[in-house]
Copies of this chain bind each other. A is one copy, B any other.
Amino acid sequence: MESISHMRTRGMDMQQCIQNCLDCHRTCLETSIHCLGMGGEHASADHQRLLADCAQICLTSANFMIRESNFHKRTCGVCAEVCEACAKDCERLAGGDQHMIQCADMCKRCAESCRQMAA
């Protein structure tokens, strides 16, 4: 039964990763609008581009997993990198802003689960 229990664990991990990717997609889009409202460096091309990259690769990775694609390891690998970069940029600009701190946390959580999927 070890292999079946292992499969189930992997299955649970993937279900969680899909949900993390969809949640992170949503959070990055919300943060993008939030940051445009703040102006300054928050509305810079560099920060906005990272948020848009992160939202899109999260959705793409989620969909590859939902379709049970063999290539999901490859999209999750890229997703982990982008999420990590986005988390760092949100932390850099956060100050005490709760929305950006939560976005950084979400990106880190998504990066971690995508890294496991990519392994």
A interface residues, Cβ below 8 angstroms from B: 18, 22, 26, 29-30, 32-33, 36-37, 39, 43-45, 48-49, 52-53, 56-57, 59-60, 62-64, 66-69, 71, 74-75, 78, 81-82, 85
Contact = CB atoms under 8 A, between A and B. Distances in A.
Contact of A71 (B39, B59, B62, B78): B78
Q: How many copies does the complex hold?
A: 4
A62 B78 CA distance: 15
Given A60-B56, A74-B78, A75-B57, A66 B26 contact: yes
Contacts of A85: 71
A66 B53 CA distance: 11
Contact of A33 (B39, B43, B49): B49
